Amino acid sequence: MDIYQIIITHNRSWTIREIIAFAVVFLIAAFLAAVLLKQHKIVVMQAVCGLLLLTFLAIVFGSTVFTRTPGLRQYQLEVFWSWKEILGIGKCGRLGSTAEGGLLQENLLNILLLFPAGILLPGVTDRKLKWWMGLLVGITVSSAIEISQLWLCRGLFEFDDIIHNSLGCMLGCLLGNKWLMLLGEKRIM
């Protein structure tokens, strides 16, 4: 399955109620950002990165939790079960198993899922962040997604996803640090 197919499979159109709810949250965040900008508590880049992060997280939560059809409560509590399956040493068998190579693709896409959020984090804080901060944010966001999926019966709760998403957020944060340093150098010139 290519990325386009994954996107259209997991991202149904938002309902009017969902669009209105997001628009209200976004407008409140934009208003708060404008107030903080006027008070010189943040800079424009922080406001833009913060609003982009909010939008990105709304899309992620929408596609991984809220727009999914409720089903059975499913969970996989074995750590690194997906890698054991990929390497042919697993014994668990995936609920709703994917085609050969599908688990590897799924793991790689899960690493990429929170990568953009990690890139935006240094922009939101307007400072370089340590690698573990990106990892901690990834663990927090991914845990919220996985717990929501378990609680609302909208996907498979698994520690592997938390690990992969968190790794992606951390790697994105490291790239965001580089991007922030480059922007800082351009501001000085």
Say what percent of the chain tops pLDDT 90.
Answer: 72
Asked whether the CA dihedral 153, 156, 161, 162 is positive or negative, the reply is positive
99 has a pLDDT exceeding 80: no
pLDDT tens-digit readout, 119-166: 999 999 999 999 999 999 999 999 999 999 999 999 899 999 999 999
Please give the pLDDT value at position 100: 52
91 has a pLDDT exceeding 90: no
Distance of alpha carbon 135 from alpha carbon 129, whole angstroms: 10
Please give the pLDDT value at position 115: 98
Selection from 120, 7, 15, 117 nearest residue 66 by Cα: 15
**Of the listed ranges 55-64, 137-146, 163-172, the one predicted with least confidence:** 55-64
Given pLDDT bands bounded at 50, 70 and 90, which one contains residue 187?
low
Given pLDDT bands bounded at 50, 70 and 90, which one contains residue 7?
low
Helices (H), the chain: 3-10, 16-38, 44-61, 81-86, 102-113, 115-125, 131-152, 159-188
Q: How far from 110 is each of 12, 129, 140, 182, CA to CA, in Å?
A: 19, 22, 15, 28
Query: What SS3 state is found at 6?
Result: helix
Given pLDDT bands bounded at 50, 70 and 90, which one contains residue 102?
confident
Distance of alpha carbon 33 from alpha carbon 27, whole angstroms: 10
- Hey, what amino acid is at 172? G
